[in-house]
Amino acid sequence: NRQVKQLIRIEQIITGWLIFVDMISSTSRRQILAIAATYNRTVSSMSIVPDLSPTSASCNGGDGGAGGRSHPTMPAAGFGTLMIPPNRIADALTSAILFSGYKRIDCAPVYFNEHAIGDALVQEIYGKEAAGGEDGNRQPLARSDLFLVSKLPPPYMHPDHVERALRKTLADLRTDYLDLYLIHWPAPMKFVPFPDDGYRGWPDEAIDDSADGRNLDDLVSVHDTWAAMERLVASGLVRHIGVSNFPLALLRELLTRAQIAPLLNQVEVHPYNVQEGLVRYCRARGVGVQAYAPLGAGGYAGTMVGEPELLKDPVIGELAEKKGVTAAQLVLAWAVRRGLTVVTKSENSGRQAENFEACQPDLVDRLTEEDMEVIESLDRGHRFFRPSDWWGDSAYAVFG
């Protein structure tokens, strides 16, 4: 435990130096002014915990998280679709959107259900009355009421394939734009042929098969991929772009050439993997942080032996009981209290509502500084999603 804390402290020191180097390495007047503004914001909010009034990181809109750029329709609570089979996605979305009030839907081609999500949205969601209207009444939903997120699969990170990959997702989701498009993993893979035009979904799971790292492609530059992502914004096909699973050093490298900074970095964050250094760096650079697996990936980890169970941690349980909330609500409120946005997944309507409620200011505000410190003391740097398990030694080129 002491060694883990020492490593975390070392990471914080290194992060501070990287931020300092970033601030002094730029020479243009525009960049110097931007640095000065960042410095002033950082000094005026040195606390790790940002302001969380209902107009900042509440579930109904606000900050991109951790000091990210504000987006008025970026809900803090997102509904995740990983591991929900196509034949069950309509029911899951109906309860999450129409009854619990979720507006941000997190998708990805490698979840192999985007075509079913698109069908469900058109056939079951749009035009139906949903909870969460400004006056408390149920309101008919339109596409513009939702914040749709998807991700670029690794086989299509070569700039020649980025737009076609997006258009495949748009066709499957039955929409003409995305609110946010992310690079899913910073590890390009060898090209996989696209299905024929008009084919809904994917014929197999080849786009997610790294062959233990043998299919990774070291010749594709993240800078080239990002430039192609920026062109998607210019074309109007996406409103915002971002990254996912980017470690600090690679994010810093991306920012050295980016014309459009990522709206956010979606990464695995929970009390067992606090990622304080990355969160602080993103805050300093104006990049939001979005936590996936914020509850510890129980469904995913349940398929593996020996994984810790975050929601059964006695420290979490005792504090949750003291606050009058569930363990899941405590952990989600902790994340939002840090200024993060979250992605949660459940097909159970009761848990969907519970998770959504956890992001509301009245629950988030129950946590004190002491509560935050108690939860963060559980950090052990544990990841449930480990690239080294899938890609072998090739993963260390990015995730060392």
- In a structure prediction context, what are the per-residue pLDDT tens digits for the chain, which is 400 residues long? 555 455 555 555 555 555 544 544 433 433 433 333 333 333 222 222 233 222 233 343 334 443 333 344 589 999 999 999 999 999 999 999 999 999 999 999 999 999 999 999 999 999 999 876 555 567 799 999 999 999 999 999 999 999 999 999 999 999 999 999 999 999 999 999 999 999 999 999 999 999 999 999 999 999 999 999 999 999 999 999 999 999 999 999 999 999 999 999 999 999 999 999 999 999 999 999 999 999 997 655 555 678 999 999 999 999 999 999 999 999 999 999 999 999 999 999 999 999 999 998 989 999 999 999 999 999 999 999 998 888 887 777 677 5
| Two structure tokens written together for 19 | 């931020």
Q: What is the model's pTM?
A: 0.83
Specify the DSSP element, H or E, that contains 9: helix 2-25
Q: What is the rounded distance in angstroms from the CA atom of residue 16 to the CA atom of residue 283?
A: 12
pLDDT at 48: 27
The residue from 111, 156, 272, 281 that is catalytic is 111
pLDDT at 63: 40
pLDDT at 183: 98
pLDDT at 298: 64
pLDDT at 200: 97
User: Alpha-carbon dihedral of residues 268, 375, 96, 131, nearest 10 degrees?
Assistant: -130
Closest CA to 168 of 191, 144, 202: 202
pLDDT at 16: 55
Q: With b meaning 16 or more CB within 10 Å and e meaning fewer, what string describes 121-142?
A: beebbeeeebbbeeeeeeeebe
| Two structure tokens written together for 307 | 């994984």
CB within 8 Å of 92: residues ≥ 6 apart: 81, 84, 347
pLDDT at 11: 54
Do residues 90 and 119 lie in contact, with contact meaning Cβ atoms separated by under 8 Å? yes
300 is catalytic: no
Q: What is the rounded distance in angstroms from the CA atom of residue 269 to the CA atom of residue 149?
A: 18
pLDDT at 395: 76
Closest CA to 275 of 294, 258, 256, 297: 294
Do residues 163 and 133 lie in contact, with contact meaning Cβ atoms separated by under 8 Å? no
